[in-house]
A and B are shown apart, each in its own frame.
Chain A
Amino acid sequence: MLERRSRRQRFLIVILVLVCILLVTFYSRESENGLLHRLQRFSMDVISPLQKGMSKVLSPVRNGIGFLVDLGRARGERDRLKEEVRQLEQRVHELEDMRRENEALRGMIKVKEAYPELEFLVVEVIGASPDAWEQTIIIGAGYDDGLQEYMAVLSEDGSLVGRIITCTARSSVVQLITDEKSAVGARLQRNAEMGILRGEGGGRVHLELLNLEADVRTGDVVITSGMGGTCPAGIPIGTVTEIGEKQADLSVGIVIQPRANMTRLDKVMVVVSPRPTSAPGMAKGGSGI
């Protein structure tokens, strides 16, 4: 009984497959206007209104699926764009660094052109003093590079920054002009009145003029005097920003704004020639140029 049923099943399958093969054969051999093709076109005409209706009814579903698919794609796109933004930001930072460096180098070239009698060594700033009471920076060159103590140090735009107070084989400590122990021989550019520039700590410096009756005005440019033989004359230091009342000792508090930005020093220029002709009179860490 089971075998008969099984045989019947197989026979049916064979018949169905044969019908399919016959249909495929007829369909593929007949012309576009053949019976089967016309039947197919007619059926499609019949079903098309239903498909249109379904399309309208199901458009929210279609949109929903589209939204979900787009969401997946959007996430990938977002991650890709994030990575691109990160790379571009990194590139912008690199370019900004290069631009700054380029500007600095241009400034240094100008400084060299302005002082043809001087020789400079461009040195990278590698650190600053951790002591809050000490205004010093550390530069990445020392004896091995031809540096020595008391050499003047300029900023990238040629303004006085300070002088070397300690020198090792490969690094040096520069005392900034804002340091409380710093004293620099200076004069007013307008009338050559001489004085001593002293640091006050906290980024301020003041000028003590030798002539207490000297004519001094706000905006006057202060330059190095060259006295003492450790710093060349004519290096710009800063401008007079404030002139106080006469004190009991007849001195006048003249506040100077240094031209060099002491907090943003990347590279400095050390005057290696002419070399300092004499050491300042005071002990290391508390001296004048």
Chain B
Amino acid sequence: MNAAHRRLLFTVIILAALLLQVGVAGEISVGSVKPDILLTATICWALFEGPTRGALFGFWGGLLEDVFTTAVLGVGAFAKTLIGYFSGELRQRVVSKSVVWPMLIVFVATLLHELIKFAAWTMVGLEQRPPLNPGVVFGLALYNSVLTLAVYPLLGRFAAREEREMMFQ
């Protein structure tokens, strides 16, 4: 796969994840917990592609999500960039064939993602920021972990062969 193809694939996956996030996530919510498909895709992509591509995926995905929702523009991009980068960094440290590891990473990364977002809102001084509800955050982390069972193998098919062989599956 050449560079142009990879860029195209990258764009298509981000757009697909974005469409799923804005169009589908709300429809498959459980109680007040709405899955963060884009975040799950960012982490899984970073686990296959490394920190740079993970951060880029997080940045563009988060930015587009901010643009297409009523969120404070830049906060989602900021949080997902950091999560994408650090998840990519983990790729070089954790090598396992089990799908449990990606699920665990998604779980912890989701908790961090929500904390980063909340910290960013606080720093901006957003008066109408949503309250940090530990129950919802925990539920979201759990939901995203379960979602990893579908997202991780799917993105694994598009990841570069050498990356795939290195990684969990």
Interface residues of A (CB under 8 A from B): 9, 12-13, 16-17, 19-28, 36, 39-40, 43-44, 46-47, 50-51, 53-55, 58-59, 61-62, 65, 69
- CB <8 Å contact, B27 and A36: no
- CB <8 Å contact, A59 and B27: yes
**Among the interface residues A13, A43, A62, which one has the most CB atoms of the partner chain B within 10 A?**
A13
| Contact of A24 with B78 at beta-carbon distance under 8 Å, contacts A39-B67, A44-B69, A44-B70 already known | yes
Which stretch in B5-13, B16-24, B36-44, B153-161 binds the other chain?
Answer: B16-24
A28 nearest in chain B by CB position: B124
- CB <8 Å contact, B74 and A12: no
| Contact of A24 with B52 at beta-carbon distance under 8 Å, contacts A44-B68, A61-B27, A62-B28 already known | no
Q: Which residues of A contact B30 (CB under 8 A)?
A: 65, 69
A196 CB to closest chain B CB, in angstroms? 81
Q: Which residues of A contact B22 (CB under 8 A)?
A: 47, 50-51
CA distance A51 to B23 in the complex (A): 5
**Among the interface residues A22, A39, A51, which one has the most CB atoms of the partner chain B within 10 A?**
A51
Q: In terms of DSSP, what is the predominant structure of the interface of chain A? A: helix
Closest 7 CB pairs of A and B: A23-B74, A54-B23, A20-B78, A24-B74, A58-B27, A27-B73, A62-B27
Q: Is B136 in the interface zone, CB < 8 Å from A? A: no
| Contact of A17 with B68 at beta-carbon distance under 8 Å, contacts A24-B120, A36-B73, A65-B28 already known | no
CA distance A79 to B61 in the complex (A): 45
- CB <8 Å contact, A43 and B67: yes
- CB <8 Å contact, B73 and A23: yes
Taken residue by residue from 70 to 95, chain B's Cβ proximity to chain A (1 for < 8 Å, 0 otherwise) reads as 10111101100110010000000000
Q: Is B59 in the interface zone, CB < 8 Å from A? A: yes
- CB <8 Å contact, B77 and A23: yes
- Point out the residue from B19, B67, B78, B82 that lies within 8 Å of A50, measured CB to CB: B19
List 14 contacting pairs A-B, 8 Å CB cutoff, sorted by A: A12-B56, A13-B51, A19-B74, A19-B77, A20-B63, A20-B78, A24-B124, A27-B72, A39-B67, A40-B70, A58-B27, A61-B28, A62-B29, A65-B28
Q: Which residues of A contact B29 (CB under 8 A)?
A: 62, 65
CA distance A13 to B84 in the complex (A): 10
- CB <8 Å contact, B81 and A28: no
Q: Is B125 in the interface zone, CB < 8 Å from A? A: yes
Further 10 A-B residue pairs, CB within 8 A, beyond A20-B77, A23-B63, A24-B78? A20-B75, A21-B78, A23-B66, A24-B120, A25-B74, A27-B72, A43-B67, A50-B22, A62-B28, A65-B30
CA distance A39 to B71 in the complex (A): 12
Q: Which residues of B contact A26 (CB under 8 A)?
A: 73
Q: Is B134 in the interface zone, CB < 8 Å from A? A: no
- CB <8 Å contact, B27 and A55: yes
| Contact of A54 with B68 at beta-carbon distance under 8 Å, contacts A22-B74, A23-B74, A24-B124 already known | no
CA distance A283 to B36 in the complex (A): 94
- CB <8 Å contact, B81 and A17: yes
Taken residue by residue from 119 to 131, chain B's Cβ proximity to chain A (1 for < 8 Å, 0 otherwise) reads as 0100011100000
**Among the interface residues B24, B29, B69, which one has the most CB atoms of the partner chain A within 10 A?**
B24
Q: Which residues of B contact A59 (CB under 8 A)?
A: 27
B68 CB to closest chain A CB, in angstroms? 5
Q: Is B135 in the interface zone, CB < 8 Å from A? A: no
- CB <8 Å contact, A12 and B73: no
- Point out the residue from A19, A40, A58 that lies within 8 Å of B24, measured CB to CB: A58
Q: Which residues of B contact A9 (CB under 8 A)?
A: 51-52
Q: Is B109 in the interface zone, CB < 8 Å from A? A: no
Q: Which residues of B contact A54 (CB under 8 A)?
A: 23-24, 27
B118 CB to closest chain A CB, in angstroms? 14
B20 nearest in chain A by CB position: A54
B33 CB to closest chain A CB, in angstroms? 10
Q: Which residues of A contact B81 (CB under 8 A)?
A: 13, 16-17, 20
- CB <8 Å contact, A12 and B67: no
Q: Which residues of B contact A46 (CB under 8 A)?
A: 68
